[in-house]
Structure formats: C-alpha cells, structure tokens
Structure 1
Amino acid sequence: MKQTGICAVSCNKVCKVKEVPACELLESLGIEAGSTFCVKQKSPWKGPVVVEMKGRRELAIDYSIASQFVVEEVDDSVLSWQQS
C-alpha cells in the first residue's frame, strides 16, 4: 500500500501509522507506530485533522503535526469498533 501523510488521506478512510512525529503528547494520547484510526474530518485552510481512535475517541491534530505523520491506508474491516 502507498504510504502518505494524514493530510493527504480522504475522510472516512482507515489508516495505520508507520511513523509518528517527535511529539510526546501524541504518545500520551495513544498515537504510536502501529496505531490504527479513521480520518473523520479535515478542516479547510490547513486547519486541524480529526481522527477517530479505538474506543470512539476523536482527536483533533494540528495540520502541521498531521502532515509529518507517515501512514498507509488499510481495509476498514480492521476497525471492529465501527461496526456497531
């Protein structure tokens, strides 16, 4: 699969994190290499990107940080929490 940044992923697409920017806050929020999430919303004019993590927790990530991620799109069937 093609690797890209979060900002290039379409809404409602599921991604797996390959590389995380150096930011301690991301790790404390549970975002690390291997994490899987769904891109829920991308704000215009380089605004925040909202992702849904396991447990239905949504996080807004600043555009400048989101653009530093390396992710790959995966099959959305891996997200069992979305099947309710």
Structure 2
Amino acid sequence: MHPSVISLRPLENYSLAITFDNGGSGVLDMDEYLDFGVFQHLKDRKAFENVKVSFVTFEWESGVDLDSEFVYRNCTIQ
C-alpha cells in the first residue's frame, strides 16, 4: 500500500507540494499533464489552486483526482 496524502499546497509552476502519512514529502509537477483531457481546465490558475485532500489522495473542485500510487510514484520525494 502506498502512503496517503495528508496535506498539499499548490505551487506557482503548476506543481503541488505534498506531505504523506509516512512522514515523507515531495513535489508533483502537473505541468506535463495539463494538455490532456480532464486536466486541460486546470490550466486556469484558480481551478488548479482549488485542490483539497480527499481520502488517500486529493481532488480538484471539478472532481478530477489522481490515484495515490501515481501521486507517490511521480513525486520528487524530498
């Protein structure tokens, strides 16, 4: 099982600073995904910044979310 997201905050460069329940933290760069499907509307900064923790991962107001395994695997862990 992968660590759960316990907090996050949007960064200026379409990245998210994320803290996990295992004590780790990292940055997930979302920029490369914003040209595809359901992620396109997140190019709007207000939409991108309207993100919250939801269960073991996070979601945007539009209902778009990411699998917790994907989040942890693609974060630059710090």
- Shorter chain as normaliser: what TM range? 0.3 to 0.5
If asked which structure has higher relative contact order (CA below 8 Å, sep 6+), I would say 1
TM-score of the two chains, using structure 1 as the length reference: 0.35
Higher helix share: 2
TM-score of the two chains, using structure 2 as the length reference: 0.37
